Structure 1
Amino acid sequence: MDLLTLSLPSLLGGLAVTVLLGVVSFALGSVLGGLVTLARISRHRALRVAAAAYVSVFRGTPLLIQIMLVYFGLPQLGIQLPPIPSAILTLTLYAGAYLSENLRGGILSVDRGQWEAAGSMGMTYGRALRRVVLPQAVRVATPAIGGRFVSLMKDTSLASVITVVELTRVAESAGSSSFRYVEAFVMAGIVYWLVNTTLSVGQEVLERRMGRAYT
């Protein structure tokens, strides 16, 4: 208990950084994922190929490698980024690849007749996508998107390898200074669990509300 009392200010500070990394990366990744989704379903082959290559690279390689490449590799190209921006950039690119597939799956799940009905009403492709298809696709993809947000919050722990003082890094420091690693990492694990449980509950509430809108 004394370790918790002594580490509480640091834990709260680490939690704030963890939430910052997760929320900002998810928000930016959602925008990026939406753009990549549009490229994946585009009529232009070059856009589809480029988007598919991006998704393949970021889904097919470990996030830890990506973080280290951005933080340690970009300086060789003359681009120097501090730890937190490096972590946010990598997490955004990583999340964007997965979120684009979640959104694409939602769009593909919408019956083709919805497109045809929108076209028969004189809607352009863009308007049909925005007003008819996307609302249905987002509803279908919400569970997967929510799950990706929860996973992303846990993935922020990897930012500790590039000296970002988030929750895992704080637990590591508390454990090394007191030689009580079990207690330190259990405390961090409980905080992660509380955060992600809150997100999961919020996701369930959102799903119920979206479900009522279509009943």
Structure 2
Amino acid sequence: MSWLADWAGYLPQMMSGLSVSLMIAAVSIVVGYPLGLVLSVMVSQKNLILRTIALAVVEVGRGAPALVILYLFYYGLPKFGIAFDSITAACLALIWNAAAYSSEIMRAGIQSVARGQREASNALGLSQRDTFFRIVMPQGMRSAIPGLMGVAIQMFQGTSLAYAIAVPELMKSAYNIGSEDFNYLEIFVLAGVCYAVISMPATWISVFFEKRLGQHT
């Protein structure tokens, strides 16, 4: 019970860090997903230059650890005269990460649309643009929803890496509180609970959508 009493006192300070974590995650998703869609389309192009550029961006974003990308933006770019504050660097790193992962999920969803539907739309006289935006993309995005929700959870949890560059997010707030009395066990357990309270319901929603989509299919 003493832990619960202590947690009640810690929570107001933790909430400021949690709000920063949620903000960074929201920016990475809102900006990263549209970029992911653009990359997924570029990867599918016949133009070798566009395809190569998109593949490079996607593979680096997926292959390099998010912490490495974070350090690249915060510590690496100032060497070339490009400096970002810690929150901006964290947002940019997770945007790249979100775009890279979501692009592959979206590309898989788009490719899952039956070829016959494209042929039917061509027979009806629809242009390639209309076929993609009115027929292919809506169905592809629908099947990509569970995967994209999983990436969103990953982005929220990934905000904890921003602690490494002193972003005042949830983990940084937890560390600051713990350093006051060195009661790190209690405060880090509370931080884990805060992450779980948001991540677990999001996971359940993702599973629900996946089951509904499976039943519909």
**Bin of the TM-score, shorter chain as denominator length:** over 0.9
Name the SS of the counterpart of 1:122 in structure 2: coil
- Which residue is equivalent to 2:182? 179
- Cα RMSD over matched residues? 1.7
Deviations 1:56-94 (A, max 9, x none): 111111111110110011111111111111100110011
TM-score by length of 2: 0.92
- Which residue is equivalent to 1:53? 56
Match of 1:32 among 14, 31, 35: 35
Matched, 1:7 2:10: yes
Give distance in 2, aligned partners of 1:204 and 1:94: 22
Structure 1 residue 205: Cα displacement: 5.5
Structure 1 residue 9: Cα displacement: 1.7
- Which residue is equivalent to 2:203? 200
Q: Is the 8 A contact 2:110 2:137 kept in 1?
A: yes
Matched, 1:108 2:128: no
- Which residue is equivalent to 1:150? 153
What amino acid sits opposite 1:145 in the alignment? L
- Which residue is equivalent to 2:125? 122
The ranges of structure 1 where at least 4 consecutive aligned residues each deviate by more than 4 angstroms after the TM superposition are 204-212
What amino acid sits opposite 2:171 in the alignment? T
What amino acid sits opposite 1:33 in the alignment? G
Match of 2:76 among 49, 66, 73: 73
Q: Is the 8 A contact 2:29 2:155 kept in 1?
A: yes
- Which residue is equivalent to 2:95? 92
Match of 2:86 among 83, 89, 92: 83
TM-score by length of 1: 0.93
Deviations 1:112-134 (A, max 9, x none): 11111111111111110111111
Q: Percent identity?
A: 36
Q: Is the 8 A contact 2:178 2:184 kept in 1?
A: yes
Matched, 1:16 2:26: no
Give distance in 2, aligned partners of 1:37 and 1:10: 40
Q: Which sections of structure 2, spanning at least 5 residues, go unmatched? A: none
Give distance in 1, aligned partners of 2:152 and 2:30: 10
Q: Is the 8 A contact 2:110 2:136 kept in 1?
A: yes
Q: Which sections of structure 1, spanning at least 5 residues, go unmatched? A: none
Matched positions, count: 214
Name the SS of the counterpart of 2:61 in structure 1: helix
